[in-house]
Structure 1
Amino acid sequence: MTLPPSPEQPERRPRPTRHRGPVVLRGGEPNAQPEGSTTDQRLLDRRGPSDWVHTDPWRVLRIQSEFVEGFGLLAELPRAVSVFGSARTPRDHPHYAAGVAIGAALAQSGYAVITGGGPGAMEAANRGASEAGGLSVGLGIELPFEQDLNEWVDVGIAFRYFFVRKTMFVKYAQAFVILPGGFGTLDELFEALTLVQTRKVTRFPVILFGSDYWSGLLSWIRTTLAGTGTINAADLDLITVTDDVGEVLKVIQAADAARRAGDGGGGMQHVPVEQGPLEA
């Protein structure tokens, strides 16, 4: 039975909620940081007095703790695939349906699904994996506008620093699947391509899903970057584009089999597929 509020104790109203990495803060906060700022922003902003000389070394401990938390949480993951895409994708959009289908197919094939844990395409992939009985992982990030982990995340962690979060996406993934998205999605795409191109990581599939959406970017890569020699023609083979969920699995499983057999040890062997890289 719920009692009406007494004059001495008025009804409690919901308090504003903020996140500082994995910490949830409600109501007032002593020595609060400027509204809308993030940990990354405060780390990189060198304007103002020189007290950053004394405070930045201590931030190393916080950065270290994020790596420790991330490694500790994810070290026992099974084989996994990172799926990226726009947080703005509505639930009734075909791109959302594609994300659900990809997440489900990966889960049914024994892969955990890792996303940024947000709404839109990320939620779709987490939802597909979770509904298919697989492991659904969300790696969130502190942003000026609050973005909680979506309800389909089974295992989740919120990071303060983008570079720590990116490390987790790469370290624990067998492949990247890139759904249509914006700046953040492009950032992850080109980060992965750069790491593979420079052999900082063993080569793994980078798959763009949605040929219509990606066709303009792929044309620019082919004609402008490769055409002017700012990348090698062979770098085009680092990307596969498809509209077929089955093709996504085929590429990932072929690369996984090659790696297990030791053929991928050198890190740069090409895994042929029927459609082929960059054929939109």
Structure 2
Amino acid sequence: MIEDLKIKGDESWRMFRIISEFTEGFDKLADIGYAVSMFGSARLAPTNPYYATAVEISHRLAENGFSIITGGGPGIMEAGNKGAAEADKVSVGLNIELPHEQTPNKYQNKSLEYRYFFARKVMFVKYSMGYVIMPGGFGTFDEFFEALTLVQTNKIYPIPLVLFGSDYWQGLLEWLKGPVLEMGTISASDFDLFTLTDDVDEVIDVMTKHRNWKMNVTEGDN
């Protein structure tokens, strides 16, 4: 009986922790404006070419008025925060408690801490106008495919999803266009929901055009 009460008490406190993570996120991110989230591996060192490219992309997006959101860790996340911070723009890190790899980077000027992945994911989706997905591992795949699923099923307004690095992503696309499409588990039109590129200018263009579209839609609603 006592053990049952302890379990119920733990569950109740867990609920309050979850609510607090949502509340803090809503409070701190409400005023960041148009933001782009950048995802990619925590394991890519600053010597990796994709790190430098991620810095360039985030810096140029920031120069064009975008806030940048990352997972707050090292690797590509650090590069994303670095580019925004060096452009003196909002550089958000949504940090997560992990047993390894997640060490908050020093380039965040707006930082939040999360225990629960699902609460953190809500913040990415709610406050991002677009995603830039650099080479990464399971976490990066997870963020990409979850956003892609939400767009495909009309659970969120369409947002641009940009896969950067054709050498890295081409194998995945070949698999999707091969057995996955051939078996009919996805549709050919689903490939229109994201962009594959190696061109930094294209990333900036895609995000800027989408922001302009959103601004026109918002003005039209007033």
Please report the TM-score for the alignment, with normalisation by the length of structure 1: 0.74
CA distance in 2, matches of 1:203, 1:146: 31
Moved over 4 A (4+): none
Match of 1:110 among 65, 69, 73: 65
Match of 2:151 in 1: 196
Residue 33 of structure 2: SS of its match in structure 1?
A: coil
Query: What do the CA deviations read for 1:114-148 (whole angstroms, capped 9, x no partner)?
Result: 00010001101111111122211100001123733
Aligned position for 2:168 = 213
Report the CA distance between 1:250 and its aligned residue: 0.8
1:167 aligns with 2:122: yes
What's the counterpart of residue 185 of structure 2? 230
Between the aligned partners of 2:141 and 2:71, the Cα distance in structure 1 is: 14
**Amino acid corresponding to residue 162 of structure 1 in structure 2:** F
Any conservation in 1 of the 2:73–2:101 contact (CA below 8 Å)?
no
- Unaligned runs of at least 5 residues, structure 2: none
Taking only aligned residues, the RMSD between alpha carbons, in angstroms, comes to 1.6
Greater relative CO, 1 or 2 (CA 8 Å, sep 6+): 2
| Inter-partner Cα distance in structure 1 for 2:9 and 2:111 | 33
CA–CA distance in structure 1, aligned partners of residues 9 and 62 of structure 2: 47
Name the % identity: 52
Separation in structure 2 between the aligned mates of residue 224 and residue 146 of structure 1, nearest angstrom: 34
Whole-angstrom distance in 2 between the partners of 1:252 and 1:100 = 16
TM-fit CA distance, 1:61:
1.0
| 1:254 CA displacement | 1.5
Matched, 1:156 2:96: no
Unaligned runs of 5+ in 1: 1-48, 266-280
2-structure distance, mates of 1:198, 1:146: 32
Q: Deviations over 1:185-204 (max 9, x none)?
A: 00101010011111110000
Matched, 1:56 2:11: yes
**Greater percentage in helix:** 2
For 2:95, the equivalent position in structure 1 comes to: 140
For the 8 Å contact 2:34–2:211, the answer to whether it is kept is no
Largest Rg, 1 or 2: 1
C-alpha separation between the residues in 1 aligned to 2:81 and 2:191?
Answer: 29
